[in-house]
Structure 1
């Protein structure tokens, strides 16, 4: 079983979505169940409604799953297993204050060392623990032996006990920490493969240590993906949210295409998720940091807009007419997103002023078109206006283009006309 674990404490970003997409692809390739887990154990940080937004976005990307799990529903189980670890002397109560811990961290930094908890509370007797009337956290004891992590993409890693440390598994309010809850939930649901960000790779040996301490011996296949750097902003992890990209007019199929393509040795540039399932191999993913290029995404989005069914495109643009879909595709010379196409359509259907320097000609054309019959061909359309107004050449085409498109140049009117001829009553107000 594979899982997509997402936090309702923030917007879903591109790295989150990339991990979700690869989970989906791999689950299809190996024919294993895929579940969605909402990591909502930290109630104080959860954003109301964010879980529903996450689920809606995953649905928008057609990521099929067998069930949805809320981590908060397992808190009692997390606590029960923490008590088991304490009973077995594999975990202990820690009464150290935040001030004390900050001092240890500061001291380690001044000495140029990595911070490690000094295990002061690990050695307290039961009698002393019972006498202490103060809030405490629960820490799992550092392992005795090294922890080996085998990563399908990055190879083998060996972590010493000090790398792992005696870390907190239950907070002061006895809610589980993210690392502990994740490790236990992966155990409960028999997860076989975990895909995560490379920057979170230290969490994996800690997860292994937690499960080892609980007597769970089944190995999990780990895959840690390289970081995505945003080329446009120039800062790591400063990524646009997925919701933002959708609102900007990018197609889910194009976003998915780009994120799977990113750092991957793919047989072709434009594809769907279903096609990716056929050829995807984790070994073909680059181990190096990858760069998110907004302009590249726009190029891929444009190609998917060119391929989309005309009627479907029309509906995405707010219509239900294949001709509007065909019209929208005419603007792909300069447009790359749904929003940019909508801007062109909004100009066509907006109320227009008279064309500058052609005010009288504009009035004549408006009067003529309001009385015109339905005309199929553009040349016949021009001929009709000329016959009824006497206008031709620049005196006709300049104001006519403006009255139909609210632009002075662009796509040929002869190409546009077949798709707007049925809407002239709405266009010429």
Structure 2
């Protein structure tokens, strides 16, 4: 049996977007599910649009998603000698020819065809007149001698049989006047030389497929199996925009998503396995097949992605989540050397936050004293009537010899009991005092994580704040 071999071959003209990441995932899974090999190939023949930052973004995205490759990354720009050697052989055996038609002549031909309502295509003048005399220094391109009759038929593994008439395909340029080979030709040679058995790519490449198949046949090369994935649309049914997810994969990392959530989300864009929604990577490898890939377009839904991310934050080990959280805390400039461990922080905030970025943005009060209270929370809870309960709970927290969530909870309960006020009232006043805001995880674990010394210090700050506010209000009334 021939060993399965797939490839992911992005053009480095920008970031790796959702569509490209899904193509990479499906190609990777197909190879992994069948014990095959996966190749990463950077198709950088477009010298004007290809950039080094884009190459780095693609590789970083693949690494973040844990989509490892068995060969590569290959770079087409470094393989020009290979492509040109094949072209020279084709010129010798007549499967390619030199075309000297000027741009002016081609533009006139195109305009004439369009005026007659015909599809613009090269009519093969130099193919039929190869013996015309041309000066040695006259510029030319090299064209492929595409068959003039018959059909190209291939069985798309997702869409079924697809046919193109050869007369609809013109003689493709395979080498430019500057000597550089063109994209469609490089793809063919690489797929051939690298032994690619299955090409999984976006539906925008369907029209390239018959041209590539004809070149492969001219080279006497085996034709791989093709599978073309449908587009990913926004939830409005339109092409993805930046608002609807057309951003680079690494932006999702910066926004606080986990690679496991991204992979789980991507595999469900056009593939299903019953009603199952959550898939581990091992399950994906075991269950994935092209037979279950839909022909229909998929819709991007940020709410679904957030739901998945929240699931993984709370179901993967806190220790693992903490390794991804570190970067986000560094971006926020939060020093975590004093305060709860990152594992404990994940357990504290995981249920409340849907992204790692949200955890990082929400956790500062665990590690640093804040400069002010939330205006709305302070206005509602840090009033003179809060002084007795804050003083009482401060005294009980100060007296604690054992600092645990249970002992903190008991101190709050006894304060409410002694003052004969609701636990909720005492709790909210204390919450605003120690966190600066009106929302936090359960108060006992929050106060415990902040620590005894910091909690007492912040209660003192809150009492001082209340006194200053009362004095200010009194001065206004006197005036």
SS class of match (1:330) = coil
Partners of 1:21 and 1:63 within 8 A in 2: yes
Partners of 1:232 and 1:294 within 8 A in 2: no
Number of the residue aligned with 1:143: 147
Query: Paired residue for 1:346, among 364, 386, 389?
Result: 364
Partners of 2:307 and 2:354 within 8 A in 1: yes
Shift, 1:365, TM fit? 5.3
Aligned pairs for 1:369-388 (under 5 A) are: 375-376=403-404, 377=406, 378-382=408-412
Partners of 1:368 and 1:388 within 8 A in 2: no
Partners of 1:40 and 1:70 within 8 A in 2: yes
Shift, 1:164, TM fit? 2.5
Query: Paired residue for 1:265, among 265, 272, 284?
Result: 272
1:5 aligns with 2:5: no
In structure 2, C-alpha distance between the alignment counterparts of 1:105 and 1:248, rounded to whole Å? 48
Gaps of 5+ in 2: 327-335, 462-479
In structure 1, C-alpha distance between the alignment counterparts of 2:107 and 2:364, rounded to whole Å? 58
Q: Are the structure 2 counterparts of residues 387 and 164 from structure 1 closer, same or farther at C-alpha, using a change threshold of 3 Å?
A: same
Question: Which whole-Å deviations, capped at 9, do the CAs of 1:89-145 have from their partners, x for residues lacking one?
Answer: 22122233444434444444443332211222323334523x264432211122133
In structure 2, C-alpha distance between the alignment counterparts of 1:101 and 1:427, rounded to whole Å? 81
Number of the residue aligned with 1:356: 379
TM-score, normalising length: structure 2:
0.79
Number of the residue aligned with 1:304: 312
Q: Are the structure 2 counterparts of residues 159 and 233 from structure 1 closer, same or farther at C-alpha, using a change threshold of 3 Å?
A: closer
In structure 2, C-alpha distance between the alignment counterparts of 1:160 and 1:12, rounded to whole Å? 34
Q: Are the structure 2 counterparts of residues 195 and 363 from structure 1 closer, same or farther at C-alpha, using a change threshold of 3 Å?
A: farther
1:156 aligns with 2:161: yes
1:187 aligns with 2:192: yes
Question: Which whole-Å deviations, capped at 9, do the CAs of 1:389-426 have from their partners, x for residues lacking one?
Answer: 99986764334222333322464424544544479469
SS class of match (2:272) = coil
In structure 2, C-alpha distance between the alignment counterparts of 1:232 and 1:243, rounded to whole Å? 24
Query: Paired residue for 1:317, among 302, 325, 332?
Result: 325
1:403 aligns with 2:433: yes
Number of aligned residues = 424
1:287 aligns with 2:295: yes
Rg larger for: 2
SS class of match (1:317) = helix
Number of the residue aligned with 1:166: 171
Question: Which whole-Å deviations, capped at 9, do the CAs of 1:135-170 have from their partners, x for residues lacking one?
Answer: 322111221332222211111122111333111111
TM-score, normalising length: structure 1:
0.88
Q: Are the structure 2 counterparts of residues 25 and 125 from structure 1 closer, same or farther at C-alpha, using a change threshold of 3 Å?
A: closer
SS class of match (1:235) = coil
Shift, 1:174, TM fit? 1.6
- Aligned alpha-carbon RMSD (Å): 3.2
Partners of 2:325 and 2:360 within 8 A in 1: yes
1:78 aligns with 2:83: yes
Q: Which segment is superposed worse, 317-326 or 296-305?
A: 317-326
In structure 2, C-alpha distance between the alignment counterparts of 1:96 and 1:426, rounded to whole Å? 85
In structure 2, C-alpha distance between the alignment counterparts of 1:140 and 1:317, rounded to whole Å? 53
Partners of 1:183 and 1:211 within 8 A in 2: yes
Partners of 2:412 and 2:423 within 8 A in 1: no
Partners of 1:94 and 1:122 within 8 A in 2: yes
Shift, 1:63, TM fit? 1.5
Partners of 1:250 and 1:301 within 8 A in 2: yes
Shift, 1:246, TM fit? 1.5
1:241 aligns with 2:262: no
1:224 aligns with 2:218: no
Q: Which segment is superposed worse, 185-194 or 160-169?
A: 160-169
In structure 2, C-alpha distance between the alignment counterparts of 1:345 and 1:364, rounded to whole Å? 26
Question: Which whole-Å deviations, capped at 9, do the CAs of 1:207-259 have from their partners, x for residues lacking one?
Answer: 1111111122x231111111111226832576222111121111111111111
Q: Are the structure 2 counterparts of residues 396 and 21 from structure 1 closer, same or farther at C-alpha, using a change threshold of 3 Å?
A: same
Q: Are the structure 2 counterparts of residues 395 and 193 from structure 1 closer, same or farther at C-alpha, using a change threshold of 3 Å?
A: closer
